[in-house]
Amino acid sequence: MARGGLSRIGLVLVAIAPGCGLSEPETGNRVEPLSTVRPPAPTRGLFVDAAATSPVVSSGGLFDIGLRPLDREQPFLGEPSLRGDLRVLWISSLSGSTRLNATGLVDALAPAGPLSLSLAFFRPSPAGTTLYTVASDAAHPPLVVPRLATPLVPGMPLRAETLPSPRASNLYRFTNPADAQIAVLRFATSGSLLGFALAGAVAPASGRFADGDFWYASFAAPSGTTGSQAALAWLPAAGDRFLAVFAASLGGGADYAYDLTLSLQPGSRLSAVESRPPDTPSTPLATLTLDRAYVAEDGAIDAAGDIDYLRLVAPAALRLYVKATRPGQGLGGATGLPLAVTLLGGDCKAALAPARPVQQEASLAAGASACAAISSPSGYVGRYRLTVATVAP
């Protein structure tokens, strides 16, 4: 039933208290003491704000959603987490408010019909977690319309791809034949994309973008009417992959055009665990020869203001790409602002390429060295994945 432009949907609310066993994996046939088990909270309702929600979205497409609690006397409390057949790109809800807005990327194989999603708010003990689950029979937007992914073959460019309207995206499918590979996506852009970065995500064969790698393309200086962007994506296991591409600004238009070429490189695993004492510009975390691509899944910003330094040596002339992503990386909001990547000279002091979100790039001459500095302007403390790759100039 519509009320004031809002769609009313069913909701199940469950309060999970620390120590009751409901938030932990089951171990055997463990039975919790009755004194520790709390009954679920009463069922409550949730509004989908139709004015702030995309009515229809294609698989691998972008959507907006606005949510409100039915009972305005029960505001959202805690840190929000939107789950389901999607990867959250941006989410905003102040604790204590009665409004949540989010932008997400629908999974590549999401079934037709109402998008499956749930909403959780996390609070420190003893409050625990509050979980909102949308009723499966509720009529509410957005509705998913499946679409076929365009085949993408490594080394074979796709020409004249466009993002014809705001919130537009393109969906591709490719196969990486080996474990531990890095996808290098290179874009030749034109029109409005000369001034806007591309972004996207890679999903495994399940089509779940939340289980894959987010990327945000870096720029090279444009040449006339053609620009150059590139992005890296980590592929830990062999298999089929889905790739979503959209404008990081979420814009679009007839002149948002690009050519896309995919290449695959074997990725050498390394550890980015910081030593004691911490690394500095004069004593970087490691020195790597750029004769291969690298990935480290144990990088960490250990404290506010921490900067990780990595020295990189070019055995031949090349174009260098360095990427750092935190878990659940998106475009901002409650998904967290991105880490920054700065490229410095071999002394880890002189500027080579300024700080940029997620990924930065630069050209190196044969025998030259550079230093990558990973920092968190937003004050994030925690783990990140580091990816390094190169291509011939």
Q: Do 180 and 139 fall within a single domain?
A: no
Tell how strand 213-216 and strand 198-203 pair up: antiparallel
Q: Do 15 and 140 fall within a single domain?
A: yes
334: number of Cβ within 10 Å: 18
**Domain boundary, last residue among 238, 267, 296:** 267
Q: Do 249 and 196 fall within a single domain?
A: yes
pLDDT of residue 128: 65
Cβ atoms of residues 371 and 344 within 8 Å: yes
Q: Do 97 and 51 fall within a single domain?
A: yes
**Domain boundary, last residue among 198, 232, 267:** 267
Separation CA 232–CA 218 (nearest Å): 10
What string of DSSP letters covers 260-284?
EEEEEEEEEE---PPPSSPP-SSS-
Q: Do 83 and 96 fall within a single domain?
A: yes
What string of DSSP letters covers 165-214?
STT-EEEEEEEE-SSSEEEEEEEEEEEGGGSS-EEEEEE-TT--GGGSEE
pLDDT of residue 79: 84
Q: Do 70 and 116 fall within a single domain?
A: yes
Interior/surface letters 72-82, b for 16+ CB within 10 angstroms, e for the rest: eeebbebebbb
Number of folded domains that form the chain = 3
| Joined tokens for residue 342 | 């700065």
**Domain boundary, last residue among 246, 267, 288:** 267
Is residue 379 helix, strand or coil? coil
pLDDT of residue 45: 62
The mean pLDDT values, 10 residues at a time, for the chain of 393 residues are: 36 32 31 41 64 94 89 81 92 83 97 88 69 58 94 98 97 98 98 94 98 96 88 98 97 96 97 85 93 97 94 98 95 80 94 96 97 94 97 94
Q: Do 282 and 260 fall within a single domain?
A: no
Q: Do 251 and 286 fall within a single domain?
A: no
The torsion of the CA quartet 287, 231, 187, 351, rounded to 10 degrees, works out to -50
Which residue is listed with tokens 């975390």?
285
Q: Do 305 and 243 fall within a single domain?
A: no
Separation CA 191–CA 254 (nearest Å): 9
Q: What share of the chain is helix, strand, coil (3-state, %, to 5)?
A: 5, 50, 45
Q: Do 6 and 94 fall within a single domain?
A: yes
Q: Which domain holds residue 94?
A: 2-145
How far is C-alpha 285 from the geometric centre of its chain's CA atoms? 25
CA quadruple 71, 72, 78, 79: dihedral sign: positive
Q: Do 263 and 348 fall within a single domain?
A: no
CATH of the domain at 376: 2.60.120.380
